[in-house]
Structure 1
Amino acid sequence: MSQRNRDGKRTARERLREQREIDKAREKRKRTLIAVGAVVAVLAIAAGVGLLVAGRNNGGGVAVAAPAGAAGKDKLVIPVGASDAPSTLTVYEDFRCPACGQFEKTFTDTIHQLEDSGQIKVDYHLVRIIDGNAGGTGSLNAANAAACAQDQNKFRAYHDVLYANQPVETDDKFAQKTYLLQLADKVGGLKTPTFTTCVNNGTYDAWVKKSNSAFGQSGFNSTPTVLLNNTNIYADTQNPLTPAKLKQLVADANKGKKPGTATPSPSPSPSLSQSPSPSQSRSRSQSPSPSQRSTG
């Protein structure tokens, strides 16, 4: 065999060996990329599940649908009254809470007067303490229905109707969506197909749950909690708040300030001034204590 032929065969073997090494390296890189991609995908899924669970457990981080006009952090506040009112009344309420019903029976007319004259705006936070303490879904379903009424610009009227027809605490009647829709008939123009769908579908259930979670982190633990310009004015049982005292507190806070540009809201029919049912009378005459969040 000539030297030229031997050199040619060696070169061919070297080229083949080099090509095999190149193919082997390419296959190794491919396997590595596939493995890395799989790990990244698993981590991404795990992170997504973790965020979802965290959002469900503590109401944080995860955006939820809010009713029209909702304000404040995470849009968890339903404001009523003039946005430029010189003072703000902040109210944390549970529609099943007997003490909240007593508060509304006592203060609704006064609050409406102060709202309609531009003296205050009221920021409502809807919570569900009774659901947690006693079981059931009446607090949740009623709050969702009230948020649905907010979409129709009829929150105040429906809010008042719910309290005017509040069942006793042991009767979870607000869990019945048919009853909530029946009460909507007391507010002119509220019971539309849109409202009915919103109530039946629980459109704002997640929003209510997030509001309730935020309440749990607020430092307050009972309803009603009532603040005037961030000062708690309803917690002193030795010197209880009265309608006259509320008016005076607002007048003092607003001294020298211009009233807001409020548009009076229509009142529902019937009003909270109507005589409560016998079962409600027995419950309310006992001046129920604020509903407190269970620590269990």
Structure 2
Amino acid sequence: MSQKNRDGKRTARERMIEERQRQARREERRKRLLTVGAVVGVLVVAGVVGVVVQNIRSTPDGPVATPPGAVGEERTVIPVGPEGAPATLTVYEDFRCPACANFEGTFAETVNALQDEGLLRVEYHLASFIDRNVPGNGSKRAANAAACAQEAGHFREYHDVLYANQPAETDDAFGDNEHLIELAGQVDGLVTDEFRECVTGGRYAEWVTASQEEFDKSGYNSTPTVLLDGEQLGLGGLTPESLEERVREKAGA
């Protein structure tokens, strides 16, 4: 074999070796790129998951806890009495309001009797604005405790007990949860561990705030404000007898 042929074969072998080396290097680069791509993909997914988790953690708390049976557009109204009653009494009250206690002391017996007879439904709107005008938390905490009583099925009884034991307007006795629980002892079956936890934990505190906001938007600026089938009643000349007469007229009784 001539030297030229040997050189040609050697050159061909060298070219083959070099080509294989280049292919090996390309394959190595491809593997590295795939590895890097996979790592980046994992990091991207992890980042997305992190954002989703953060968004979940940043999501505001769920809906405001609402007492069972509450009605109205914002579910801030506590109804007492049959849903199909021929007359509805709407009452805006604040548990620290002396005039509200006077109204309840005068009309509660008649109102309760008309409810029991199936002639009247009362829709209570619990305000707490006195806490803004007189230092304390009694309006809000009493309203929360009343919502807890609604949860336990004893709203009417506890509502009446609170007004029967209302302190002076400047006395924030209702701001003491233990005092509210003590008063609940006057209602058979109301004081349970669940009720105590509801009162002391302020389970319906946000609902009480929402109820006051609804009162602020109502256009009324004092309590008690009382309406019979949407017509505001002048309380100056109203008596239990005249209220009963008007309710019975509406019922045709």
State the alpha-carbon separation in 1 of the partners of residues 95 and 45 from structure 2.
Answer: 57
Partner of 2:4: none
1:64 — aligned with what?
A: 65
Q: Pick one of 16, 23, 31 that aligns with 2:35.
A: 23
1-side partners of 2:198 and 2:247: how far apart? 36
How far off its partner does 1:96 sit? 0.3
> 248, 251, 255: which one pairs with 2:248?
251
Which residue is equivalent to 1:273?
A: none
State how 1:1-296 maps to structure 2 within 5 Å.
1=10, 2=13, 3-46=15-58, 48=59, 51-52=60-61, 62-66=63-67, 68-73=68-73, 75-229=75-229, 231-234=230-233, 236=234, 240-255=237-252
Displacement of 1:111: 1.3
Structure number with the bigger relative contact order (C-alpha 8 A, sep ≥ 6) is: 1
SS at match of 2:96: coil
Residue correspondences, number: 241
Residue identity opposite 2:16 in structure 1: R
- State the TM-score, normalizing by the size of structure 2: 0.78
Q: Structure 1: which 5+ runs fail to align?
A: 53-60, 260-296
Unaligned runs of at least 5 residues, structure 2 = 1-9
Identify the range of structure 1 (193-202 vs 168-177) with the bigger mean alpha-carbon deviation.
193-202
**In 2 relative to 1, CA 7–192 (structure 1 residues): closer, same or farther, beyond 3 Å?**
closer
TM-score by length of 1: 0.68
Identity of aligned residues (%): 44
Query: For the residues of structure 2 that align with 1:241 and 1:161, how far apart are their CA atoms?
Result: 23
Q: C-alpha offsets along residues 67-88 of structure 1, whole Å, 9 cap, x if unaligned?
A: x444444543322222321222
Work out whether residues 233 and 241 of structure 1, in 8 Å CA contact, stay in contact via their aligned partners in 2.
no
List per-residue Cα deviations over 1:216-236 (Å, max 9, x = no partner): 34443332222222x1413x5
Give me the CA root mean square deviation: 3.0
Higher Cα Rg: structure 1 or 2?
A: 2
- Helix, strand or coil at the partner of 2:121: strand
User: What secondary structure is seen at the aligned counterpart in 1 of 2:118?
Assistant: coil
TM superposition shift of 1:121: 1.0
Per residue, is there more helix in 1 or in 2?
2
